Amino acid sequence: MKLREVLDGRWAEVRQAARDRLAGDRFVAVPGETIEQARERVTRLLRELPTELAAAGFPAEHGGAGDPGAAVVAAEMLGFLDLSLMVKAGVQWGLFGGAVAALGTRRHHDAYLKKIVSGDLLGCFAMTETGHGSDVQRLRTVCAYDPDTESFDLHTPYEAARKDYIGNAARDGRVAVVFAQLITQGERHGVHAFLVPIRDADGEPLPGVTIGDDGHKAGLLGVDNGWLSFDHVRVGRDMLLDRYGQVAPDGGYSSPIDDDARRFFTMLGTLVRGRVTVGGAASSATKQALTIAIRYGETRRQFTAPGRDREVVLNDYLAHQRKLTVALATTYALTFAQDQLVATMHEVQSAVDPVDGHRQRELESRAAALKVAQTWHATRTIQTCREACGGAGYLAANRLPGLKADTDVFTTFEGDNTVLLQLVAKGLLTGYRDSFGSLDGWGRTAFVAEQVREMVLERTAARSLIQRLIDAAPGGAERPFTDRGWQLAMLEDRERHVLDGVIRRLRRNAATREQPFDVFNDVQDHALKAASAHIDRVVLEAFVAGIERATDPAARALLSRVCDLYALSTIEADKGWFLEHERLTPVRSKALTSVVNGIVKDLRPQMTTLVDAFGIPEAWLASAILREEPRRQEDMAVEG
């Protein structure tokens, strides 16, 4: 069955290479470690990872493959093994190394990239502060230039300005890319990045540098998160990562981008890969959890039933099928969406000529959207899977506790999901889209009343196919639920309508609310819903386009059924909205639930096939119940 090939997507070779190169249990997470054991093992294994995995995203001239897409996919594969290792590798090569590559210039690349790729120089990405995680534009670390010494004075003015939750800080990092407010010749020029040594060759903090340990966390124990505080630390002028902003020896500032905020968000934009990676890795964890829960449910039995000679397997219960199979369908949808996003990111980041701002911001918006979708889906689905495995699901040896604890923070780092949803919503309003992608909560609401114009829904995948599907049947009440064009039209229509409502309310609020803050705040729930509706729609489009790439007829037929389940369960979950806005009648709505249940039952015999297609090697699953439960059931079957 060609299903796995389709899911492996455009970088199938990278996935297969990872399965081969990282085979066995060598890199598999170890349940029940102490924090010290986890940190030691992850740091050791980081250095044992194949070089091509570490280097994939870096320019060829510095030992890399110049393949950003491969770097993301390799990280997704690491996500099946050990999320701490995935995050540690992401910090080292994606964030720290990525910042040096994207924000530094030739001299930085020549001096540092090779050591970063080899793991000889472990480093940190120090942007987040205790007081500012989401609104990093307003971070408080300062870095002031002194022409007399031709160096900067890096300083943490108070506790809330500490760099915090910094991976590689508490134990291993020797250098940090530190983001700080640049001041020179008495003027502030916004946030810039500096390369700052933090530990000496013996591992001791350098003068003026204080390093703290964030200590025990809910999960990701193998990542040594800590905080950094700088007490007037001297940083050489050449340590400014100066691709987007330069300081001359006399302190004169220059930059190709005049506006401070625009410049900062342009810098951030080059780091979009982290967000794309986190979304993809979250989906790896989801796939792992579903594989464990569905395979367990195929062997685990409980309660007798008339007409059945043995107790009933869990997967035979409608409620059990529903929760797992619907989550599985969404996971399939997100897999296609992620594959498409990685391809887009790869194109943009590999382009020889700089990409226009509009495409860059579309990429950032899509990355935010899929980060939100995949991380919330992961944390909810893994919870469902833990409960579906009962008491066994609570034991660390069965892997689900680790998956839950490790993925929990994915909804917060690389962008808080609620804040990211607002970013997505703003991107849908043409008045904002052409401005720089500010992360703030619609701060410039003065903007809003004048600039919010018509929104334009852009189709994002398989445009002509989708247009044909939607046009294929006349509008009207009685198109079958399994008509793909109807499904797409329903989601497009909802997105358009909700966005329209956001615009209407913003204009009304701007005219009537006394408090400027309320102009935005009163519409926050609608804005978040608009973003969610947008995400559902683009994900369905990606699923449709993905099915087109499948050549095997059996695979296409099965994927089509799974796509029906994704689309219809998505509509069903929001039937309140569709009924409220009379896109569904009460009769159709009840019928919809029956149809969804019917597809769930149709897919019952394929549950295992569908998770097998994720292609997670047995040794990577490492869940004791998958070995033990079949054997235990055999004991009981013999006894009768």
- Sites for a copy of itself among residues 501-520 (CB under 8 A): 515-517, 520
Minimal distance, residue 136 CB to a copy of itself, in Å: 10
Query: Hey, what amino acid is at 366?
Result: R
Sheet architecture: strand order including 226-230? 163-166, 226-230, 209-213
DSSP string of 548-615?
Answer: HT---HHHHHHHHHHHHHHHHHHHHHTHHHHHHTTSS-HHHHHHHHHHHHHHHHHTGGGHHHHHHTT-
Minimal distance, residue 397 CB to a copy of itself, in Å: 6
CB count in 10 Å sphere of residue 464: 8
Q: Is 617 in the site for a copy of itself (CB under 8 A)?
A: no
Minimal distance, residue 72 CB to a copy of itself, in Å: 23
Please give the Cα distance from 65 to 302 (Å, whole number).
Answer: 52
Q: Is 582 in the site for a copy of itself (CB under 8 A)?
A: yes
15/275 with CB nearer a copy of itself: 275
Dihedral sign, Cα of residue 606, residue 611, residue 613, residue 617: negative
163/273 with CB nearer a copy of itself: 163
5/572 with CB nearer a copy of itself: 572
- Only segment of 60-68, 336-344, 423-431, 521-529 that touches a copy of itself (CB under 8 A): 521-529
Q: Is 606 in the site for a copy of itself (CB under 8 A)?
A: no
157/252 with CB nearer a copy of itself: 157
- Only segment of 41-49, 104-112, 242-250, 411-419 that touches a copy of itself (CB under 8 A): 411-419
79/104 with CB nearer a copy of itself: 79
Q: How far is CA 171 from CA 35, 221, 624, in A?
A: 12, 12, 32
Minimal distance, residue 415 CB to a copy of itself, in Å: 11
> Within 452-583, where are the H helices?
463-471, 484-512, 516-521, 524-548, 553-573, 575-580
Are 87 and 106 contacting, i.e. CB atoms less than 8 angstroms apart?
no
Distance, first Cα to last Cα, the chain: 36
Are 103 and 243 contacting, i.e. CB atoms less than 8 angstroms apart?
yes
435/521 with CB nearer a copy of itself: 521
Minimal distance, residue 509 CB to a copy of itself, in Å: 12
Q: Which of 171, 366, 404, 496 binds a copy of itself (CB under 8 A)?
A: 404
Q: Is 483 in the site for a copy of itself (CB under 8 A)?
A: no
259/387 with CB nearer a copy of itself: 387
Q: Is 636 in the site for a copy of itself (CB under 8 A)?
A: yes
Query: Hey, what amino acid is at 163?
Result: K
Dihedral sign, Cα of residue 363, residue 366, residue 371, residue 372: positive
Please give the Cα distance from 180 to 183 (Å, whole number).
Answer: 9
**Token pair 């780091």 is at which residue?**
271
Q: Is 246 in the site for a copy of itself (CB under 8 A)?
A: no
Identify the CA nearest to 105 among candidates 239, 257, 256, 253: 239
Q: Which long-range contacts (CB under 8 A, 24 or more apart) does 244-252 make?
A: 244/103, 244/192, 245/182, 245/189, 245/192, 247/145, 247/182, 247/184, 249/147, 249/150, 250/147, 251/145, 251/147, 251/184, 251/185, 252/184, 252/185
Minimal distance, residue 620 CB to a copy of itself, in Å: 19
Q: Is 1 in the site for a copy of itself (CB under 8 A)?
A: no
Identify the CA nearest to 323 among candidates 280, 287, 294: 294
Minimal distance, residue 562 CB to a copy of itself, in Å: 20
Identify the CA nearest to 354 among candidates 438, 472, 504, 244: 244
Minimal distance, residue 323 CB to a copy of itself, in Å: 9
Q: Which of 351, 590, 602, 609 binds a copy of itself (CB under 8 A)?
A: 590
Q: Is 522 in the site for a copy of itself (CB under 8 A)?
A: yes
Q: What are phi and psi of 220, to 5 degrees?
A: 50, 45
Give the angle 295-299-304 at the CA atoms, nearest 5°.
Answer: 140
DSSP, collapsed to helix, strand or coil, labels residue 211 as: strand
Binding residues among 67-126 for a copy of itself as defined by CB under 8 A: none
Q: Is 604 in the site for a copy of itself (CB under 8 A)?
A: no
Q: Is 131 in the site for a copy of itself (CB under 8 A)?
A: yes
- Only segment of 87-95, 240-248, 290-298, 378-386 that touches a copy of itself (CB under 8 A): 378-386
Binding residues among 192-231 for a copy of itself as defined by CB under 8 A: 214-219
Minimal distance, residue 368 CB to a copy of itself, in Å: 16
Q: Which of 443, 449, 465, 606 binds a copy of itself (CB under 8 A)?
A: 443
Q: Is 261 in the site for a copy of itself (CB under 8 A)?
A: no
CA 461 to chain CA centroid, nearest Å: 20
Q: Which of 48, 454, 500, 525 binds a copy of itself (CB under 8 A)?
A: 525
Q: Is 435 in the site for a copy of itself (CB under 8 A)?
A: no
Q: Which of 12, 206, 355, 397 binds a copy of itself (CB under 8 A)?
A: 397
> Within 232-356, where are the H helices?
260-269, 272-299, 318-350
Interface mask toward a copy of itself for 285-324; x: CB under 8 A? -----------------xxxxxxx--xx---xxxxx-x--
- Only segment of 26-34, 74-82, 363-371, 548-556 that touches a copy of itself (CB under 8 A): 26-34
